[in-house]
Amino acid sequence: MAFGDNQVQRNKDWVMKTIIDQNVVLALAFGEAEHLSRQVVGSADILVAQERYIVPILGRELTDALIEGKYSEFVEEYVAPALAFAVRLVIQPAINLRLGDSGLVAPRGEAMESPDAAATRGLLRSLKVRTRELLKRLSAIVEQNKGQFAEYDSKCNIFNRCSIDGGVVQIL
């Protein structure tokens, strides 16, 4: 079944609604020296990160409000950076490898070499730390200002029930 523009226009439910787009992910989660095309980040990648990392903190109602355009300053300052790094965390392993006619390959350029496993693990650890800290920052600010967000339910915030700090799982 093909999904042409006509079908998307007729059935708006099929459109993936996300808080941010590919341009925001590339601008916030990748450095200026990291030249990536917009196609590296798909709408599905953003949706997966949004569902996995943002909804458990903000809850479905507040997330939906953000998708609809509410609280734009909050999104710009707190949600977008956290979501952008969550997207990068989700897609980084796929960026490191490519699937081609010859199967799974590591990309190599003329003057570049693929990193070893230790370097790849180090990058993923770094991304996990940055993403986690941005998510904790998001959680803290929404908790401190919960009266400003009618759609927010503090009971939905996973950080109010469980936290992993320094490798120690804390169930609250």
pLDDT number for residue 49: 97
Spatial CB neighbours of 27, under 8 Å, sequence gap ≥ 6: 84
CA distances 100 to 42, 93, 119, Å, are: 18, 15, 23
Would you state the structure tokens that stand for residue 82, as one six-digit string?
A: 């956290």
Per the confidence metrics, is the pTM higher than 0.75? yes
pLDDT number for residue 93: 87
Q: Residue with structure tokens 């803290």? A: 140
pLDDT number for residue 37: 79
pLDDT number for residue 111: 55
46-55 pLDDT, tens digit each: 999 999 999 9
pLDDT number for residue 163: 65
Give the residues of the chain that fall short of pLDDT 50.
1-10
